[in-house]
Structure 1
Amino acid sequence: MVTLQNQQLTVQIDKLGAQLHSIKRQDNDIEYLWQGDPASWKRQAPILFPFVGRLKDDQYRYNDQIYHQTQHGFARDREFQVIEQTPTMVVMEQHDDDKTRQVYPFSFSLQVKYLLEEDSIKISYIVKNPSKNEALIYAIGAHPGFNMPLTTKGKFDQVELSVRPAAKYSRIVLDGAYNDSAHPQVIDMTDSLPLNHELFNRDAIIFKTDGSHFTAKLTDKDANHGVEVDTFATEYVGVWSQYPATAPFVCVEPWWGIADNVNADGQLLHKQGMHRLAPNEIDNYNFSIKPF
């Protein structure tokens, strides 16, 4: 476990999956990050790579071969190595090996940087393509879960979601596990949205953000605390909690990618939301988390 600390925050990161393990402020006793529960959702803040969401039949085709891959990819279940660390910053890395190439035939390096800056956690995903001749095809995303409500005596329906800019957004609806982007809905976020479990009866609420600067804020009104997730150049932001089984957490998920389309043909080169990184190139994806 890696611990970062400054005058405002103490943050822990697990080397398995490089996922956040704990977020606490120095001025209160609140644990902001969901602590995982095998009875509901065992994870806390998985990194989604090289896929976001589910593939049809958990497989895809590339260069006339079929590869099997489960939901959200494999990075979340593999160890990262610490390659740089200070009291307020850490960079962790994983890269391809014989095991990853059985399910994903590409060379890659995935680095994750966590930096404490005042009362915010700045998070960067750095994707590198070490290949000399082949483009890297991938998607990437974040999936942090937050305790909501933030007190053990609180109720889920005392939590509200607000966004900036406050506006009407296109919502991508999931049909089962797959996206139906051809039939978006309008979600009016000009005012805050009181949450209840039934809002997630079609899985995540997916905002189509189209690369705009988008901030999602979860507020526990009774506790007068919450979290802000500030996203930059995301294509989508998902907000999710379990349903019909329920648990006291809400995830805010910056995505640079999305689950297979309902009409996906299984070809990786045709898959919606994938990125293509040229040989020897690097790309960066950034967001931040601010507990209050």
Structure 2
Amino acid sequence: MITLQNPQLTIQINELGAQLHSIKRHDNQIEYLWQGDPASWKRQAPILFPFVGRLKNDQYRYGGKIYHQTQHGFARDRQFNVIEQTPTMVILEQHDDAKTLQVFPFSFKLQVKYELKEDKLVVDYRVTNPSADKTLLYAIGAHPGFNMPLTNTGTFNQTQLSVWPAEEYSRILLEGPYNDSEHPQLINMKEARMLNHDDFNHDAIIFKTAGGHFKVKLTDTVANHGVIVDTFATEYVGVWSQYPATAPFVCVEPWWGIADNVNGDGELLHKQGMHRLAPAESDNYNFSIKPF
């Protein structure tokens, strides 16, 4: 387990999946990050790569061949290697190998940087295409879960959701696990809203952010503590909690990609939300988490 620490925060990271394991402020010692529970959602903050969401029938076609891949890709279940570390920063990396090439026929290098900056954790994903002649197709996203409520005596229904800019957004609906972006609904976020488990009866609340600066705030209104997730240049941000089985957490998910469209044809080159990275090029994706 990797530990980062500064005067305000202590963060723990698991090298398996480069997944966040703990977020604590020194002034209150509250555990902000969901600790995982096999009875509900066993994960904590998986990294989604090279796909975000589910593929139709867990498969896709590329170059005339069918490849099988489970929801959210394989990065979350693979070991990362530490390539640089200081007391307040770590960079972890994984890359393609014979096993990944069986399910994803591309060379890649994925670096994840965690850095403490005062009372915030800044997260940066860097994707590199090491190929000399082949374009890399991929999506990437984050899936951190936060304890809601933040005390043992509270209830989920004391969770408040607010966003910035505070306005109306297109909400992308899911039909089963697949997106129906052709039929969005307006969601009014001009004012904060209290959450309950039934808000997730159609899976995640997916905000179409249109690539701007988008901020999500979760507040335990009784404890008066919570988290602010600041996203930059995302295409979508999902807010999710488990349903119909329920658990006391809410995920805030910056996505640069999305699940297969309900009308998708299974061809990777046609898949909605995929990024294209030219040979020898890199791209960065970042967000921050501020517990308060």
TM-score by length of 2: 1.00
| Residue in 1 that maps onto 2:275 | 275
Root-mean-square deviation over aligned CA pairs? 0.3
Partner amino acid, structure 1, of 2:95: H
What's the counterpart of residue 2 of structure 1? 2
Amino acid at match of 1:211: G
* 1:196 match: 196
Question: Aligned partner of 2:112: which letter?
Answer: V
Where does residue 23 of structure 1 map in the other structure? 23
Q: How far apart, in 1, do the equivalents of 2:24 and 2:120 lie?
A: 11
| CA displacement at 1:193 relative to structure 2 | 1.1
Where does structure 2 lack aligned partners over 5 or more consecutive residues? none
Q: Which amino acid aligns with 2:272?
A: Q
The letter for the 1-side match of 2:190 is T
Structure 1, residues 158-187: CA drift from partner, whole Å, max 9, x if none?
A: 000000000000000000000000000000
Q: How far 1:24 sits from its partner (Å)?
A: 0.1
2:259 maps to 1:235 = no
Looking at structure 1, the residues matched to 75 and 162 of structure 2 have their Cα atoms a distance apart, in angstroms, of 30
Q: Which residue identity is paired with 1:186?
A: L
The letter of the residue matching 1:69 is: Q
Q: Which secondary structure state, in structure 2, belongs to the residue aligned with residue 42 of structure 1?
A: coil
What are structure 1's unaligned runs of at least 5 residues?
none
Task: For residue 262 of structure 1, report the CA deviation from its aligned partner.
Answer: 0.1
Structure 1 residues 128-156: Cα deviation after superposition (integer angstroms, max 9, x where no partner): 00000000000000000000000011000
How far is 1:125 from its partner? 0.1
SS in 1 for 2:181: coil
1:43 to 2:25 alignment? no
TM superposition outliers: structure 1 runs of 4+ over 4 Å:
none
| Matching residue's letter, 2:59 | Q
* Residue 72 (structure 2) pairs with residue 83 (structure 1): no
- SS of the residue corresponding to residue 173 of structure 1 reads strand
Aligned residues: 292
For 1:243-283, what per-residue CA distance to the aligned partner results, in whole angstroms no more than 9, with x for missing partners? Answer: 00000000000000000000000000000000000000000
Alignment partner, residue 153 of structure 1? 153
Letter in 1 for 2:4: L
For residues 32 and 118 of structure 1, what CA distance do their matches in structure 2 show?
17
Amino acid at match of 1:288: S
Residue 183 of structure 2 aligns to a residue in which SS? coil
Structure-1 separation of matches of 2:226 and 2:137: 36
Cα shift at 1:59 = 0.1
Give matches, 1:1-292, under 5 Å. Answer: 1-292=1-292
- How far 1:29 moved relative to its partner? 1.9
- Secondary structure of 2:103's aligned partner: coil
Alignment partners' CA distance in 1, 2:36 and 2:165: 31
TM-fit CA distance, 1:208? 0.1
Give 1:278's aligned amino acid: A
**Cα distance between partner residues in 2 of 1:107 and 1:235:** 24
2: distance between equivalents of 1:168 and 1:152? 34
Q: What CA distance in whole angstroms lies between the structure 2 residues aligned with 1:78 and 1:217? A: 30
Distance in structure 2 (CA, Å) of the matches to 1:117 and 1:48: 24
User: Secondary structure at 1:99's aligned position in 2?
Assistant: helix
* Distance in 2, Cα, partners of 1:29 & 1:105: 44
In structure 1, how many angstroms separate the alpha carbons of the residues matched to 2:16 and 2:272? 28
Q: CA deviation at 1:192?
A: 0.3
